Amino acid sequence: MHAMTNSRTVLAAALVLSIGAAACGKKDAAPADTMAVSVPPAASPMRVTDIQVGKRVGADKRVVEPATAFGRRDTVYASVTTEGAATDARLTATWMFKGTQGISEADEMISSSGGTNVSEFHIMKATPWPAGSYTVDVKLNGVSAGTREFRIQ
């Protein structure tokens, strides 16, 4: 009888432990109808990542002939690379002679859900450019994003 009592006691203890473990496991488990939702990371805000000045641009609007010195009859190109997401971001290129005298200003509106965009700006003149130092100042939504200097010789 003593062996039978011990067996029943062990069996009863095992049953209590397994019910307790099952109850704990169900408490921690998510209900079967709940699905995990994956949220994609938010796109980073648009920013200017590169400004190049040169004598020619390719079909992709990137400068293919970089330069900082130009002839008096050359067309000067600026290629501006942006990355990130924006809706109707305003990219502005302001061309200056001797750092203070405005020559030209052009805007381009950019909308992107992310990734890389390239914009092209240029200046040209029917008569020769005055020799001297020039700059192109690039702004994104009115905030300076960089300046490039060049010379007309």
- Reported pTM: 0.71
Q: Are 138 and 95 in contact (CB under 8 A)?
A: no
pLDDT at 7: 45
3-state secondary structure at position 133: strand
- Under CATH, what is the fold of the domain 47-152? Immunoglobulin-like (2.60.40)
Can you tell me which residue has the tokens 């450019």? 129
Beta-carbon contacts of residue 60 (< 8 Å; ≥ 6 apart): 118
Q: Where are the domains of the chain?
A: 1-31, 47-152
Q: How far apart are CA 22 and CA 148, in angstroms?
A: 69
pLDDT of residue 39: 54
Match 């069996």 to its residue by tokens: 11
Distance CA 80, CA 58 (A): 13
130: β partners: none
Number of H helices, E strands in the chain: 1, 6
pLDDT in tens, 55-109: 999 999 999 999 999 999 999 999 999 999 999 999 999 999 987 888 999 999 9
